[in-house]
Structure 1
């Protein structure tokens, strides 16, 4: 049951990142920096799905607090690498991002590293 909090941390983190990417893709930032960029960022905080994405990140943090209270950090922290793998894979169908050979190799290295470090 305790591993559920680790899984929920990953799921909620991934969901939050994907929601934020989806929303910023709908409203591209202004080309100039400064006040316009700051206004853009502030306006994003009022978009309902951005709020949901930030709430997911907050809930992921709450799950992580429970997880680290029940496990050795060195045992569960490698699972946070799953965020890179899952987001990297889901960005292809959801946002049309390319999956290059090098990205795939990198994701495989991350996954193999996760397996190796979780056994130690």
Structure 2
């Protein structure tokens, strides 16, 4: 049951990153350069978008889940699992967002996983 907190932290962290990137691409959002009022309007629309808001909310929920995980684990025991977030984001980014798949990224992903195994096992 205690690993559920770590899983939830990973889930909400990854969800937040993926949904923000997807929505920014979908909205084709860029910072306006025309004036302060246009910037305020643009940021407000951006921040009030339900998907963007859910991404920010998921970051908060991930923080709450992480806080609960800290009551069940030593930080040196739990934190290595957080290194799975970049690996999951990489895989989902390639699959869902069509991001580039390079040998360098795969090697980096492999090193992350090896580091996680070494950290947790030894």
TM-score, normalization by structure 2: 0.89
Runs of 4+ with deviation above 3 angstroms: 30-42
Which of 100, 115, 118 does residue 116 from structure 1 map onto? Answer: 118
Which of 53, 70, 73 does residue 72 from structure 2 map onto? Answer: 70
Bigger CA drift: 60-69 or 42-51? 42-51
1:57 deviates by 1.1
Larger radius of gyration: 2
1:93 deviates by 1.6
1:43 deviates by 2.5
Structure 2: tracts of 5 or more residues without a match: none
State how 1:93-112 maps to structure 2 within 5 Å: 93-112=95-114
**SS at 1:45 equivalent:** helix
Which of 78, 90, 93 does residue 91 from structure 1 map onto? Answer: 93
8 Å CA contact retained: 2:32, 2:42? no
Bigger CA drift: 27-36 or 52-61? 27-36
CA RMSD of aligned residues (A): 1.8
Counterpart in the other structure of 2:63 = 61
State how 1:5-16 maps to structure 2 within 5 Å: 5-16=5-16
TM-score, normalization by structure 1: 0.90
**SS at 2:90 equivalent:** helix
